[in-house]
Amino acid sequence: MGDGARSGGRRSGTGHVKIARMGKQVISPGGIIDGVVELPGDKSISHRYAIVAALAEGRSEIGNYASAADCQSTLECLRRLGVEIEKSDRTVRITGAGLNGWKEPRKPLDAENSGSTMRMLAGALAGQPFTSTLTGDESLRRRPMRRVIEPLRQMGAEIRAKDDRAPIEIHGGPLHAIDYTPPIPSAQVKSAVLLAGLFGDGPTTVRESVCTRDHTEVALREFGARIDGTKNAIRIHPRPKLVAQQLVVPGDLSAAVFLISAALVLPESSLMLHNVGLNPTRARVLDFLISLGAAVRVASLQMRHGELVGDVSVRHAPLAGGEVSGTQVAEMIDELPMLAALGPFTEKGIEIHDAKELRVKESDRIATMAAGLRAMGARVEEFEDGMRVEGRSAGKLRGAKVDPQGDHRIAMALAVAALGAEGDTTIRDAECAAVSFPEFFVTLDKLRGAAKA
């Protein structure tokens, strides 16, 4: 369970999260969001720092490593590959033994619910001189892996997977360089190919029609890899000497979006978030919120270890509504459930198109989000590639029992929507939020508690 589900004994008056049994969370509406937050480390960056550090030579130190369950899955898989890892608070120390220093695992590597762990480790394992198997929980075993299996097979890896889903058996070895364009823009697929490219017989290139998050390229450069090319064509040169580094992970912007949205739902709210990762390939969601009318400001910008970091403040303001489509989808894929949940609090609603990728995430995020919002009284039109959520004119949301289908982002998005409903909302299986933001419910409660005090 996440920290919020474990804490127990929280206040249950109006404007607070009530902790219930069996993994449920009861959200009482109202109150205001007020306070200052230091976010847990960015989930995407933490995965990548850990994997590259494990391929480097020497002892790396990673500060503010993500508390997300997904990122702990990556560490556990690396341990099973013989990588020495020490943890104290939010600092992780990883002793790498070079590109081919990993050991053949005795048991399958369990990525649990983490698609990032599975897809990116598949790339690094494809170049190892042994056989390994990657598996995960029921949800992850349903998710499509052909998109990462296909390019790795092109590079010469022998991979077995029934119906191109986990478990994935990888017979690694020497790899060929390729020039690859993913059919669907995906940072995870790009990362897998670039990591496999470390073991190639020449430079490997990944081309993108839409620029996806570039944390892998940034991390590899920090550790000493040679990467060049253009913004849409990234080329990695093989067999670099990766050298251990001391790094600090910035706060997770995708986690920040849920707290920012809570402040936008509740009138008179004001929130400051310190040391947030603002990588340009991730920060488009802030531009979109500003386009809706959100009073979001960014300050104290600085570059740390190749990543842009700054402070983000937000004040409650009326939202106009808008549409997400085309290239915006890949740029904001993780934030789309939260944007949909903001629909009933906007003037014109939120409409999402070209987002069929949401159908194959931790849940079918289009169907699950639509069902949750409808249960709360929202008017939702579902499309094959997205949805339309009507605005304020459709009426106020009402408290309801909702099921996020084990999807962490859906659970948090529905919790934020519940803040502006009439009556309590019960979120089933709410501890799934721990996959990316274990502290979410406790943080939300503290911010409303501080405002009420």
The predicted structure's pLDDT at residue 261: 98
Catalytic residue among 42, 70, 214, 334: 334
Q: Which of 248, 271, 292 is the last residue of a domain?
A: 248
Q: Is the pLDDT of residue 349 over 90?
A: yes
- 365 within 8 A of 409, measured Cβ to Cβ: yes
The model's pLDDT over 388-411, given as tens digits with 9 standing for 90+, comes to 999 999 999 999 999 999 999 999
SS3 66: coil
Amino acid at residue number 68: A
The predicted structure's pLDDT at residue 362: 83
Task: Quickly list DSSP for 309-342.
Answer: EEEEEEE---B--EEE-THHHHHTGGGHHHHHHH
Q: Which of 213, 248, 283 is the last residue of a domain?
A: 248
Q: Is the pLDDT of residue 450 over 80?
A: no
Q: Is the pLDDT of residue 6 over 80?
A: no
Q: Are residues 221 and 205 in the same domain?
A: yes
Could you give the angle at the alpha carbon of 104 between the alpha carbons of 99 and 107, nearest 5°? 135
Buried b (16+ CB within 10 A) or exposed e, 19-33: beeeebbbbbbebbb
The model's pLDDT over 274-333, given as tens digits with 9 standing for 90+, comes to 999 999 999 999 999 999 999 999 999 999 999 999 999 999 999 999 999 999 998 999
Q: Are residues 362 and 379 in the same domain?
A: yes
Count other C-beta atoms under 10 Å from residue 351's C-beta.
Answer: 19
Q: Is the pLDDT of residue 186 over 70?
A: yes
Task: Quickly list DSSP for 140-208.
Answer: HHHS--HHHHHHHHHTT-EEE-GGG-SSEEEE-------EE--SS--HHHHHHHHHHHTTSSS-EEEE-
Q: Are residues 68 and 186 in the same domain?
A: yes
Task: Quickly list DSSP for 245-299.
Answer: -EEEPPB-HHHHHHHHHHHHHSTT-EEEEEEEE--TTTTHHHHHHHHHT-EEEEE
Question: Percent of the chain at pLDDT above 90?
Answer: 89
Q: Are residues 166 and 295 in the same domain?
A: no
Radius of gyration, CA atoms only, the chain: 21
Q: Are strands 91-97 and 109-110 parallel, antiparallel or unpaired?
A: unpaired
Q: Is the pLDDT of residue 129 over 90?
A: yes
Strands of 91-97's sheet, edge to edge?
84-88, 91-97, 57-63, 246-248
Confidence of residue 22 (pLDDT cuts 50, 70, 90): very low
Give catalytic status of residue 214 as yes or no.
no
Q: Is the pLDDT of residue 31 over 60?
A: yes
The predicted structure's pLDDT at residue 10: 32
Q: Are residues 227 and 348 in the same domain?
A: no
CATH number for the domain harbouring residue 206 = 3.65.10.10
The model's pLDDT over 263-280, given as tens digits with 9 standing for 90+, comes to 999 999 999 999 999 999
Q: Are residues 262 and 321 in the same domain?
A: yes
Structure tokens at 101: 């220093």
Q: Are residues 256 and 244 in the same domain?
A: no
CA distance 99 to 76: 18
Confidence (pTM): 0.91
Confidence of residue 181 (pLDDT cuts 50, 70, 90): very high
> What number of CA atoms fall less than 13 Å from residue 366's CA on the CB side?
18
Q: Is the pLDDT of residue 118 over 70?
A: yes
Q: Are residues 152 and 261 in the same domain?
A: no
Q: What is the mean pLDDT of the chain?
A: 93
Query: Domain of 47?
Result: 43-248
The predicted structure's pLDDT at residue 210: 87
Count other C-beta atoms under 10 Å from residue 141's C-beta.
Answer: 16
Q: Is the pLDDT of residue 7 over 70?
A: no
The predicted structure's pLDDT at residue 12: 34
Q: Are residues 58 and 36 in the same domain?
A: no
Count other C-beta atoms under 10 Å from residue 160's C-beta.
Answer: 12
Structural domain tally of the chain? 2
Average pLDDT on 225-232 reads: 90
Confidence of residue 229 (pLDDT cuts 50, 70, 90): confident
Q: Which of 202, 225, 248 is the last residue of a domain?
A: 248
Q: Are residues 366 and 286 in the same domain?
A: yes
Q: Are residues 224 and 331 in the same domain?
A: no
The predicted structure's pLDDT at residue 19: 35
The predicted structure's pLDDT at residue 361: 85
Q: Are residues 233 and 264 in the same domain?
A: no
